[in-house]
Amino acid sequence: MNQDHPGLIKKVIVFFDKLEDNVRGHLSHYPVVYTIIGGTAIVLFWRGVWHTADILQGQGGVIGFIFSPVVNMIIVAVVLLMTGLFVSYFIGDTILMSGIKGEKKVADRTQKDVKEEETRIGELRTTIKEMKKEVDEIRDNLVG
């Protein structure tokens, strides 16, 4: 952090956090426009990363070696494995968790499975409401 302006970085982060909330709030009302803007920005970001890697490879020497396709792929695979993003990105957390729990994929669920899950969720909501009512009664008895 810069010693001359210790609060500057915090102010910049807060500014962009508020800006992001504002923009996201407005764009969420227009999902197609939001998708076009977001998709375009993501593609252009990765295009920039790709071209930067090509430029760095073209520099030759150690940098060129690091950014050569095979070496770069190995380095990136190690980084992705170390950060836990390799498996998460390529197969997704939902698929991983459903496999661990022994659940069916959403596409393989039958209408009966979905109805049973909806019924179970309804039962859980009823139980929670009953528990809340009991907690409120206990609180009222203790306070009053």
Q: What is the pLDDT of residues 23-59, one digit of tens each?
A: 999 998 998 999 999 999 999 999 999 999 999 999 9
Q: Say how far apart CA 69 and CA 57 lie, in whole Å.
A: 9
* Six-digit token string for 46: 């990765």
Residue 65's pLDDT is: 96
For all residues of the chain together, what is the average pLDDT?
87
pLDDT bucket at 134, cuts 50 / 70 / 90: very high
Q: So where are the chain's domains?
A: 109-144
pLDDT bucket at 3, cuts 50 / 70 / 90: low
